[in-house]
Structure 1
Amino acid sequence: MAVKIKLRRIGAKQHAFYRLVVGDSLAAGGGKVLESLGTYDPHGEPPALSVVAERALHWLQRGAEPTDSARQLLRRAGVMRQFAELRAAGKAQ
């Protein structure tokens, strides 16, 4: 199973709201969601982002690949920096 960290769009027309989720990228129809890691609301001022960093790090350490959009949000939340520090210290795969 190929695991991805990706954005899942929810919300009403013209007012998108996203969940940051971990899911199977090979399954039909977008794949099964394994876990929700946070939310992103691009319409707020500033845009609202909440991420459960511990769980995001858990999935990154186990080989989950973030999509480009998800990577940008994880970088904004500081998760990618923490992951790089863990890898440099030898605590990740």
Structure 2
Amino acid sequence: MSVKIRLARAGAKKRPYYHIVVADSRSPRDGRFVEKIGSYNPMLPQDHADRIRLVQDRVTYWLSQGAQPTDRIARFLGKAGLAPMPAYSEQPKKSAPKKKAQERLAALKEAEEAKQAEAAAPQEEASPSEEAKAE
């Protein structure tokens, strides 16, 4: 049986509240679970003590039994010091331009650099001739 530590949604419409549960990965999100090991209230400020509650000894027990935390739960456990902090980037890969758009941007940058190099080259050549005129 594949066991996950994940969020189960509760609360009213537009007022989310989550239970942190240990559940079989095949069971529905808000359905059957093995054990409730905490809660998460996203409506509270980030520095509020009751925003994330965890039963630490049960979390460590389930992690030792091979339960896999979801990405959000792994972040919670990393902040609580119960597991290593997962590596993640702030900017998701989805927001990056697609391949062809990146190629077009690279071509535009090369064209701009070429124009700047051409504009700088005549100025450098003009400088020695101006010195010759001054003599």
Could you list the structure 1 runs, at least 4 aligned residues long, displaced by more than 2 angstroms after superposition. 29-32
Higher relative contact order (Cα pairs below 8 Å, separated by 6+ residues): 1
CA distance in 1, matches of 2:14, 2:64: 35
TM-score, length of structure 1 as denominator length = 0.78
Amino acid aligned to 2:38: G
Decide which structure has greater strand share.
1
| Runs (5+) with no aligned partner, structure 2 | 85-135
Report matched runs for 1:74-89 at 5 Å: 74-81=77-84
- What is the CA–CA distance in structure 1 between the aligned matches of 2:24 and 2:72, rounded to whole Å? 17
Partner of 2:20: 20
TM-score (norm 2): 0.55
Q: Percent identity?
A: 39
Give, in angstroms, the shift of residue 32 of structure 1: 2.5
5+ residue gaps in structure 1? 82-93
Max radius of gyration: which structure?
Answer: 2
